[in-house]
Amino acid sequence: MLKLGVNIDHVATIRQARYREVTDGEPDPVAAARDSEAAGCHSITVHLREDRRHIQDEDVRRLKRALDIPLNLEMANVSEMVSVASELLPEAVCIVPEKREELTTEGGLDVAQARSRLAETVSWLQALGIEVSLFIDPVPDQIDASAEIRAKAIELHTGAFAEAFKRDRRSDATDEALERLSDAARQGHGAGMKVNAGHGLNYRNVLRLRQVPHLTELNIGHSIVSRAVTVGMRRAVDEMLCLLDD
């Protein structure tokens, strides 16, 4: 069975729309995380962005205290976030590219170009016992570079697949995107790294990801939070887990 990491960023997005200056606004991301955990998910993911547009520092602290499952902290490779991770010691960190103008993270890290800076961060965090993954496009050069700096894991960006599937789930473009993901997963696994995946995954397209070999965990957020608006967080997570269950 593929593991499920639930990204609760968009719970905080809804809260911040009304309660930006309030510490106990609703909905509470920690409550959503606890409901996801109770439904059986395997980890909780949050992205602490530099502009703090949704998840706040105190959310991460509360999650670390409240959860019995791993907390995966997405973050940019900047000194501020490295300090936060070093203090809070989440079980996992996923380093992602970050631009202020983007709605959500678009595209993967250029590990090959930022090799030396990323290598320093990866080495530091992994020495603290944190599993570090790199959010990358399914491109051979990026996988090679990730292995060279000794990252323990990679997370494959599934955006191209999700976009192709949305246009036509049976198209050559969809099949080609899946083949690129499969090749990347084989390459990453062969290099000794754990292979995760995420971005744009939902209840309609996730079944196709099961044909990609060596995947360990899928990180899914917006689709689950959207479904939870009508059926609640536990049921939304349970429905996704059913799709991932062999």
Task: Give the C-alpha separation, 157 to 105, whole Å.
Answer: 10
The DSSP bridge partners found for residue 93 are 73, 132
- Annotated active-site residue 155? The verdict is no
Q: 42, 157, 199, 217: which is the annotated catalytic residue?
A: 199
Task: Give the C-alpha separation, 152 to 132, whole Å.
Answer: 6
DSSP string, the chain: --EEEEE-HHHHHHHHHHHTT-TT-SS-HHHHHHHHHHHT-SEEEEE--TT-SS--HHHHHHHHHH-SS-EEEEE-SSHHHHHHHHHH--SEEEE----TT-SS--S---TTTTHHHHHHHHHHHHHTT-EEEEEE-S-HHHHHHHHHTT-SEEEEE-HHHHHHHHH-TTSHHHHHHHHHHHHHHHHHHHTT-EEEEESS--TTTHHHHTTSTTEEEEEE-HHHHHHHHHH-HHHHHHHHHHHH--
Q: 10, 42, 54, 74: which is the annotated catalytic residue?
A: 74
Q: 10, 37, 42, 47: which is the annotated catalytic residue?
A: 47
- Annotated active-site residue 10? The verdict is no
Which positions are annotated as active-site residues? 47, 74, 199
